[in-house]
Structure 1
């Protein structure tokens, strides 16, 4: 019976050694997994840092875009104001041209009347001269 117990103990000891070997293998694998997890965490931190950097760049780009939009709106407004002023000047020029045409016509009319008056005056002087001779 002692031999049987001894034999069972030896078998148990062999099984325990086998289990211990398996545990060492599992521990080795767990150590590897822990290292992989640490690497993943480090990678995640680096990725988060990159995302933070990208977010900052997007904020800068968004700010610049807003500023450019405001500048563009101001330029559009200025262009509209300039267009309105240009249109007003064009209208004023047309009005002045109309006034000039009317003035030219008036001057021509006055010139014609003066010519007529001159002709009438000459005729009157002739008549006066004739009347003075008759007298």
Structure 2
């Protein structure tokens, strides 16, 4: 019976040694995973900063586009007004020429 207990103790010692090795391996794997998580967090922070910069640039582009659209509308309205004024000048000039011809004819 003592031999059997001794054999069982030897088997248990072998199993404990194997378990210690497995736990050590798990600790190493967990350490590697923690390093990977730190790298992912760092990468995510950099990505967030870049995204923020892109959003700021997009906001600036949006504002600039709005300003350009407003300028375009004002320019079109101004050109239409100038065109209308030029048409009026042409009509008045034509009438003036007509009046000049009539006045010359009266002489």
- 3-state DSSP of counterpart to 1:66: helix
- 3-state DSSP of counterpart to 1:81: helix
CA RMSD of aligned residues (A): 1.1
For 1:52 and 1:32, how far apart are their aligned partners in 2? 30
| TM-score, length basis structure 1 | 0.74
Q: Which runs of 5+ in 1 are unaligned?
A: 108-135
Report how far residue 6 of structure 1 moved.
1.2
2:43 matched residue in structure 1: 43
| TM-score, length basis structure 2 | 0.92
State whether structure 2 residue 33 is matched by structure 1 residue 25.
Answer: no
Give every structure 1 segment of 4 or more consecutive aligned residues whose post-TM-superposition deviation is greater than 6 Å: none
For 1:50 and 1:70, how far apart are their aligned partners in 2? 30
2:89 matched residue in structure 1: 89
State whether structure 2 residue 6 is matched by structure 1 residue 6.
Answer: yes
Residues 15-70 of structure 1 deviation map (CA, whole Å, 9 limit, x = unaligned):
11111111111111111011101111111111011101111111111111111211
1:53 matched residue in structure 2: 53
For 1:17 and 1:106, how far apart are their aligned partners in 2? 132
2:66 matched residue in structure 1: 66
Mean Cα displacement is larger for which, 61-70 or 84-93? 61-70
Number of aligned positions between the proteins: 107
Residues 95-117 of structure 1 deviation map (CA, whole Å, 9 limit, x = unaligned):
1111112222222xxxxxxxxxx
Q: Which has the larger radius of gyration?
A: 1
1:121 matched residue in structure 2: none
Residues 83-129 of structure 1 deviation map (CA, whole Å, 9 limit, x = unaligned):
1111110111111111112222222xxxxxxxxxxxxxxxxxxxxxx
